[in-house]
């Protein structure tokens, strides 16, 4: 056991591997960063605002977590971060695309700005980071890419058309990338969370009964509940990501793993 930034870390199956996590400053991205560190990875934590990733860097130390600030929608900025990570930390073995935005609106009220920004981050951001990582991973014939999508990509949601469509695009992109990279040994998978206790989720709640409606369902919005009877914690999603980037998942690619407590009633 080694103490890093006051946190006990067991060097395990990801020891020595370099990972890049986008959207790492809070919520699921932060949980993924912590989970990867707990398994021994060295993590480049990327977010478009500095505070969260700088806190992680200060907690764990720069030998374990490095903070990077960039907008994933900016391809040149993403390429520069990947270059820096490979130059200073070593070959990138893991990419986890978590960065995402959600602004709800009925379709007839969606502005051009909402639509374009949603796709710029949720879809183009996944493309930018994955392309930069895939070029390098394919040459080395090794690596893992995981995109954190959403169960909304597979089931219609009222007032979430832009978000759901952008996540569906990111999901299919990741599967196509996995098909193209299969012979190189690079694996590409998707983790699709349902309702998860993050700031993004809480921003959707309008009263004290909102969490209960999420769990029990809301017929007025044509939404079923969560059979397991609980809202996910970010660590539930991070555990799924950690499994998919590990050697335990060495024969899994182009898979979409739903982590939603059964909410989408998938066959």
Write down the pLDDT at residue 205: 67
**Residues catalogued as catalytic:** 163
| Burial status of residue 225 (CB atoms within 10 A of its CB: 0-12, 13-18, 19 or more) | middle
| Burial status of residue 74 (CB atoms within 10 A of its CB: 0-12, 13-18, 19 or more) | middle
43 falls in which pLDDT band (50, 70, 90)? very high
| Burial status of residue 79 (CB atoms within 10 A of its CB: 0-12, 13-18, 19 or more) | middle
On the question of pLDDT at 1 being above 60, the answer is: no
Label the pairing between strands 187-193 and 256-259: parallel
Write down the pLDDT at residue 203: 72
| CB atoms near residue 211 (< 10 Å) | 16
On the question of pLDDT at 210 being above 80, the answer is: no
CB 178 within 8 A of CB 245: no
**Cα separation, 189 vs 174, whole angstroms:** 7
Write down the pLDDT at residue 5: 43
Write down the pLDDT at residue 6: 41
CATH number for the domain whose boundaries are 18-196+233-259: 3.40.50.720
On the question of pLDDT at 211 being above 90, the answer is: no
Top pLDDT among 150 and 202 is at 150
Label the pairing between strands 2-4 and 7-9: antiparallel
Looking at every residue in the chain, the average pLDDT score rounds to 93
pLDDT in tens, 68-78: 999 999 999 99
On the question of pLDDT at 200 being above 80, the answer is: no
CA of residue 173 relative to chain centroid, distance: 14
On the question of pLDDT at 7 being above 60, the answer is: no
Write down the pLDDT at residue 219: 87
On the question of pLDDT at 10 being above 70, the answer is: no
pTM to 2 decimal places: 0.93
3 falls in which pLDDT band (50, 70, 90)? very low
């Amino acid at each position: 056991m080694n103490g890093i930034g006051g946190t006990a870390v067991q060097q395990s199956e990801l020891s020595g591997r370099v990972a890049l996590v986008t959207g790492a400053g809070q919520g699921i991205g932060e949980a993924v960063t912590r989970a990867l560190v707990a398994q021994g990875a060295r993590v480049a934590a990327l977010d478009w605002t500095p505070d969260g990733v700088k806190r992680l860097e200060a907690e764990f130390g720069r030998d374990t977590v490095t903070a990077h600030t960039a907008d994933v929608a900016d391809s040149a900025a993403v390429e520069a971060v990947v270059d820096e990570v490979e130059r200073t930390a070593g070959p990138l073995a893991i990419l986890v695309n978590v960065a995402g935005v959600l602004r709800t609106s009925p379709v007839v009220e969606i502005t051009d700005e909402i639509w374009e920004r949603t796709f710029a981050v949720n879809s183009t951001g996944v493309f930018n980071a994955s392309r930069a990582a895939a070029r390098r991973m394919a040459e080395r014939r090794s690596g893992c890419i995981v995109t954190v999508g959403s169960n909304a990509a597979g089931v219609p949601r009222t007032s979430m058309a832009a978000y759901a469509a952008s996540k569906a695009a990111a999901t299919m992109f990741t599967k196509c990338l996995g098909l193209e990279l299969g012979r190189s040994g690079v694996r590409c998978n998707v983790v699709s969370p349902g309702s998860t206790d993050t700031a993004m989720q809480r921003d959707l709640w309008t009263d004290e009964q909102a969490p209960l409606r999420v769990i029990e369902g809301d017929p007025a919005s044509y939404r079923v509940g969560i059979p397991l009877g609980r809202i996910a914690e970010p660590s539930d999603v991070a555990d799924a990501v950690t499994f998919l980037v590990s050697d335990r998942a060495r024969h899994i690619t182009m898979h979409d793993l739903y982590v939603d407590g059964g909410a989408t009633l998938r066959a």
